[in-house]
A and B are shown apart, each in its own frame.
Chain A
């Protein structure tokens, strides 16, 4: 069987796997954002006790391998009578892990905003909440895009580990294919090229969004003014 013939056979199952890869990535990124954004706000503006709690949560998740977290949820929780599907386990583990990283990116973005912005907002009578909502968040989102793009790209690649708990994403499909045809080189090369193409397109898209949202006349070097 030539490489081309193999591709013809493998295309359909790999495409199905890729869709699952997209699905897991997207869900986990959204969960991560839903965790990361409030966590970042708490770390900058929250009361001390909550700040400590969130910081602890973030450091535990960043300080342990995501695979350990995944296995704890998928294999560990059933010991306590909590059995979750492979998909649910993947969403929770990768979503929370991403949340910890996103929280740090967004916190960095918030802290890059000059303190004068908050002061000016308060000086015209805005409450702290209004200032965060109308002044801090719109700017923080823009500052966070480059780091967030890295997180999105990393997520697409890191979802490949969920093949270990039999989520049928692209790498899992590849594993089945090569056990049938015994051609690991062709299979992994194909998978690698697909990842590369997907991430290339994502990078272009995210750069486009970054340019679209850029503030006219405002370069990062001018941030302080």
Chain B
């Protein structure tokens, strides 16, 4: 890990169980400014839960989380305020169905950041332009392709000027030919220096863009390292087996 850089996300001994099912068994990790971390692992190993515990959409049972040196697990923290600057992108897009693309992006600017409508509109158009969808501003989610929906969702998060972006399998619900357009946007973000934590099985993205790959299984971090090491010469046979398998697929 690069030294001297600010730690943006810090997770300490995070635990979460659903009933008797332990989803997270004491996860600790740090993500520094501008770092792109890819979380991989079989489904049901707690990757998405980990992301949702970071912005407290899911409350962890134990452990602590800091984002930008604010402890989110401290009950006295205003969690709504903290979430304003933690972007999240979902597998199923979750665009607001009753609003067009522009309003999807500007709603938070108006009601959360208190911008006036005109300024919010201009900013929203700029963000849509950034993901290449300025010409779809008036379209409703039902009138957009999956890839376009996800790009609007990314624009919605970016408009809030996040200090970190969490991606929860952003391309898993997309037709294969639409995955590229979303990955391009994510790559651009990474190049601009955005701090990103991505749950994805897009190995190409992990290899070319990420600084670190974290392999999770059964609620634990099994192994982590640079893409070069993890994809070619990991320490553990299990890591090699899993990453080898998804490399064949993607």
Of A27-35, A134-142, A146-154, A167-175, the one touching chain B: A134-142
Q: Are A125 and B80 in contact (CB under 8 A)?
A: yes
B149 surroundings in chain A (CB, below 8 A): 225
CB neighbours of A124 from chain B (8 A): 83-84, 107-108, 112, 156-157, 160
User: Does B38 belong to the interface (CB within 8 Å)?
Assistant: no
Contact A123 B80 (CB under 8 A): no
Count: A-B pairs, CB below 8 Å: 89
B66 at the interface (CB under 8 A from A): no
In the complex, the answer to whether A125 meets B160 with C-beta atoms within 8 Å is yes
A120 to B84, CA, bound (A): 11
Bound-state CA distance A125–B57 (Å) is 11
B97 proximal to A (CB < 8 A): yes
**B88 and A216 contact, CB distance less than 8 A:** no
Q: Is B200 an interface residue (CB 8 A)?
A: no
- Is B142 interfacial (CB-CB < 8 Å)? yes
Task: Assess whether A123 is in contact with B96, with CB atoms less than 8 Å apart.
Answer: no
- Known pairs A130-B112, A219-B142; A120 contacts B96 (CB<8 A): yes
A61 interfacial by beta-carbon distance below 8 Å: no
Question: Does B227 lie at the interface of the complex (its beta carbon under 8 Å from any beta carbon of A)?
Answer: no
Please tell me which one of the listed residues B57, B111, B139, B140 contacts residue A130 in the complex, with CB atoms under 8 A apart.
B111
B2 to chain A, nearest CB (A): 28
Contacts of A223 in B (CB 8 A): 97
Interface membership of B6, Cβ < 8 A: no
In the complex, whether A8 has a CB less than 8 A from a CB of chain B is: no
Within 8 A of A (CB), among B84-98: 84-88, 90, 92-98
Q: What are 18 A-B interface contacts by the 8 Å CB criterion?
A: A117-B97, A120-B88, A120-B90, A120-B94, A120-B153, A123-B157, A125-B81, A125-B82, A125-B84, A126-B108, A130-B111, A135-B96, A139-B98, A215-B140, A216-B143, A218-B141, A219-B142, A224-B92
Residues of B participating in the A interface, judged by any CB pair closer than 8 Å: 55, 57, 80-88, 90, 92-98, 107-108, 111-112, 139-144, 149, 153, 156-157, 160
Q: Which residues of A contact B (CB under 8 A)?
A: 114, 116-117, 119-127, 130, 134-135, 138-139, 142, 215-219, 222-225
